Amino acid sequence: MSRKKKYIVQLTDEQREYLNSLISKGTNSARKIKRANILLLSEQQKTAKEVSQILNTNIQSVYNTRKRFVLSGLDKALNEDPRPGAPSKLDAKGEASKGEAYAIATACSDTPDCSDTPEGRVCWTMQMIADKLVELEYVDSISDKTVRLRLKKKR
């Protein structure tokens, strides 16, 4: 019993030419090239199973690429949507930019005298900067890793 294909790929000559040039250049991401190959093989009436075996990819990737092409077009089929993520607590463009500026200024400043060490600190630790940002209410809470990553980006 054969299943009827739900999303049939039919490329125009321009689209086929574009996909072939995209594959031959090799300057694009591997995912984009694989999706282009999926579309080209799908147009040749290959089954999803055959395409997935030829390209050594998951069969669901074949289904998803075909579906995106038919419903949204070539650009959506080849490119990924941006992935959501939590906004940075120290964002250079948001309200917390004062906090980021303060973190940078603090890291560049002289260290405070620490009573728990006899000779004091030689340099600021990431945890000390994070604690200072919370103390001054630039952020509600922040980890030393977040401070480290933001300072690393500013080098």
The string of pLDDT tens digits covering residues 81-104 is 887 877 766 665 445 567 778 788
Name the region of 26 (left: φ>0; alpha: ψ -120 to 50; beta: rest).
left
What is the pLDDT confidence band of residue 70, given thresholds at 50, 70 and 90?
very high
3-50: pLDDT as tens digits: 667 888 999 999 999 999 999 987 888 999 999 999 999 999 899 999
Does this model's pTM top 0.85? My answer is no
C-alpha distance from residue 123 to each of 106, 108, 136 (Å): 10, 9, 20
Calpha distance 25→13 (Å, rounded): 18
11, 20, 21 from 68: Cα distances, Å: 13, 19, 21
Torsion of CA 105, 110, 112, 118, to 10 degrees: 150
pLDDT score recorded for residue 113: 66
Query: What was the pLDDT predicted at 58?
Result: 94
Q: Provide the residue ranges of all domains of the chain, joining segments of one domain with +.
A: 13-78, 97-153
Q: Compute CA distances 86 → 83, 94, 117, whole Å.
A: 10, 13, 37
User: Is residue 120's pLDDT more than 90?
Assistant: no
Comparing 21-30, 68-77, 91-100, 138-147, which segment has the lowest mean pLDDT? Answer: 91-100
Separation CA 53–CA 57 (nearest Å): 7
Which parts of the chain fold into alpha helices (H)? 13-25, 30-43, 48-55, 59-72, 74-78, 97-108, 126-135, 144-153
CA 144, distance to chain mean position in Å, is: 22
- What confidence score (pLDDT) does residue 117 get? 52
